[in-house]
Amino acid sequence: MNRKIQIRLLFALGALAVLFQGIPAVSAQSGGLRTYTSETTAAVQTTEVVAGSLPVMEAESPAPPAETEPAPDTDISENDTPAEPEILSFPDVNESDWFYTDVTKLASLGIINGYPDGSFLPHNQITNAEFIKILMISAGMDLEEVPEEQLYAESWASLYISIAYANGIITDADLDAGFSPDDFITRSAMTKMMILALGIEPSRIDDPFTDISDMYASTAYNEYLLRGYLQPDDTRIYDGGSPAARSEAAAIAVRIIEYREDAYKYKKNAILENASENPLNNEFELLNLFYILNREFFTEFTFETAIPAETVSSYYTHSNLINLEYFYSSGIYATPTGNVYPLTIQYDTDIEVLKQYHAEAEEKADKVIEAIITEGMTDADKVKAIHDYLILNCEYDYNNYLIGTIPYESYIAYGALCGRMAVCQGYSAAFNMLCERVGIRSVAVGGYAPGSTEDHAWNMVLVDGQLYHIDVTHDDPVPDQKGKISYKYFYLTDTEMTNLGYTWDKEQSNLKYFY
């Protein structure tokens, strides 16, 4: 019997509506081949997202330490910056090893050199000092400027440790807890230092690991920088208290380098690789996948999950709301076979036209931010500037709304920014796009405005650790009144929105969706 999942996203009266048809529960069954196809150019696909072409994201089971004591490690070279690329190899690092690419890349960059006997000893543990030196170089820290406060002056790694301390990567709490340069670094400590060095705000997502609740580990997982150990039951453990191996430190360093070069590209590739090679077992893996599929204009993708089809459907819809500025598909269709979902993603408008719309909207968004954001503005100031700009430079597509002829452009950021005409979905998409450019996390919310039964979209922003609702559409007078701005629906809490008569699924207000 064929069992189908169909999600058709309908543009109705300026809002986002969803129709579910024939969505069954999915029985547990072993999966099959997982593939993906995008409308992007073949050259991009073959060089960026072909399965197996990315750094290994799954660490193997922890290996035992070397049986013999190693010779002094010449990782601690006199070079403070990576040397010219050079092909280096180690007799104990084989092409079949999961860490082979990472170790050889770091060696070619001059960040690691191995031991005097030519070995790398990948399974040996690594000290705080050794990892911090690798971290400071990989994270691009300024090694020329010597901090005023010198820590552990007797240590060969004093400079690196002092720089890490000056940049908040090592804290007073670490020192008070007994930090020692020569102690072996744990996986937890390594992960925390990595997140702090990259300047990533710790996430408040659901714990992805069954053996620990740690915001730095959760953040690293959410950014695909560390995925833990996959268990036979498809859960993951972190093993944060165990000493990190040299091979693991090398893998982390390479991910730091690639993340710094292009965080979106790094995460996109990691998300696609993970979805192509592993079952997707939690909400965020599916939210992330659907985000990438829409942003990259995929037309087909096959993945495996044991999550029920009804839930998969809801995740797809929610992903489009969270990332409304990248939402262009009109529907997805699939006939699951066991746990395997071969998706077909449809578009009502030619994909090349959609790409052009998006490119023009992004170009306009860059110009808007340059014009309205000034030095010294707080995040709250920036949110207000974006809110005001959209109201003063866009009007609600009221005439087309009245006669039911709203054009496609009014539903997307292009309409609000370039055509200066939009409905609530277009306002919200443009608001997301502008906030993204100033580093403020904004997501769209779907629900109902006061006294209305029509689907409606507005935004929520995360500012200073708090969530606020902003309904730009309803703050823009209808019919349009040039120069007039309302703040009735600006910067409101959940309680204030509820008191005004708004209704929505309160789960959308969960902080975990803002990281």
Q: Is 304 helix (H, G, I), strand (E, B) or coil?
A: strand
pLDDT value at position 260? 97
Are 416 and 394 contacting, i.e. CB atoms less than 8 angstroms apart? yes
pLDDT value at position 481? 86
pLDDT value at position 86? 53
Q: How many helices (H) and strands (E) does the chain have?
A: 18, 15
From the list 246, 340, 343, the residue with the least C-alpha distance to 294 is 343
From the list 342, 345, 340, 309, the residue with the least C-alpha distance to 330 is 345
How far is the C-alpha of 64 from the C-alpha of 61, rounded, in Å?
A: 9
How far are the Cα atoms of 58, 154, 170 from residue 477, in angstroms, in the given order? 53, 68, 51
Q: How confident is the model at residue 188 (pLDDT cuts 50, 70, 90)?
A: very high
Between 149-158, 208-217, 227-236, 390-399, the lowest mean confidence (pLDDT) is in: 227-236
Q: How confident is the model at residue 230 (pLDDT cuts 50, 70, 90)?
A: confident
Is pLDDT at 407 greater than 70 in this prediction? yes
Q: How confident is the model at residue 127 (pLDDT cuts 50, 70, 90)?
A: very high
Residues forming a β-bridge with 229 = 237
pLDDT value at position 233? 84
Is pLDDT at 473 greater than 80 in this prediction? yes
SS (H, E, C) 446-487: EEECCCCCCEEEEEEEEECCEEEEECHHHHCCCCCCCCCCCC
**Which is higher by pLDDT, 492 or 54?**
492
How far is the C-alpha of 40 from the C-alpha of 351, rounded, in Å?
A: 10
pLDDT value at position 232? 87
From the list 3, 4, 7, the residue with the least C-alpha distance to 319 is 7
Q: Classify residue 465 as left (phi > 0), alpha (psi -120 to 50) or beta.
A: left
From the list 469, 416, 478, 477, the residue with the least C-alpha distance to 447 is 469
Q: Is 368 helix (H, G, I), strand (E, B) or coil?
A: helix
From the list 248, 326, 338, the residue with the least C-alpha distance to 293 is 326
CATH number, domain 351-514: 3.10.620.30
Between 13-22, 84-93, 166-175, 441-450, the lowest mean confidence (pLDDT) is in: 13-22
pLDDT value at position 31? 26
Is pLDDT at 79 greater than 50 in this prediction? no
Q: For 294-347, what is each residue's pLDDT tens digit? A: 999 999 999 999 999 999 999 999 999 999 999 999 888 998 999 999 999 999
Neighbouring CB atoms inside 10 A of 450's CB total 13
Q: How confident is the model at residue 274 (pLDDT cuts 50, 70, 90)?
A: very high
pLDDT value at position 34? 28
Q: Where are the beta strands (DSSP E) in 335-485?
A: 340-346, 395-396, 421-422, 442-448, 455-463, 466-470
How far is the C-alpha of 413 from the C-alpha of 431, rounded, in Å?
A: 8
Between 56-60, 132-136, 408-412, 440-444, the lowest mean confidence (pLDDT) is in: 56-60
Is pLDDT at 41 greater than 90 in this prediction? no
Is pLDDT at 353 greater than 70 in this prediction? yes
Q: Domains of the chain: which residue ranges?
A: 5-31+279-346, 351-514
Q: What is the mean pLDDT of residues 271-297?
A: 95
pLDDT above 90 coverage of the chain, percent = 73
pLDDT value at position 22? 29
Computed over every residue of the chain, the mean pLDDT equals 84
pLDDT value at position 482? 86
Q: What is the mean pLDDT of residues 208-216?
A: 90
Q: Residue 142: what are its φ and ψ, rounded to 5°?
A: -75, 110
Q: How confident is the model at residue 87 (pLDDT cuts 50, 70, 90)?
A: low
**Which is higher by pLDDT, 422 or 89?**
422
Is pLDDT at 24 greater than 50 in this prediction? no
pLDDT value at position 128? 97
Are 294 and 327 contacting, i.e. CB atoms less than 8 angstroms apart? yes
Is pLDDT at 28 greater than 90 in this prediction? no
Verdict on whether the full-model pTM lies above 0.85: no
Residues forming a β-bridge with 237 = 229
Are 473 and 424 contacting, i.e. CB atoms less than 8 angstroms apart? yes
Those residues whose C-beta lies under 8 Å from the C-beta of residue 447, and which sit 6 or more positions away, are: 455, 456, 458, 502, 503, 504, 505, 508
Q: What is the mean pLDDT of residues 125-150?
A: 95
pLDDT value at position 57? 29
Is pLDDT at 243 greater than 90 in this prediction? yes
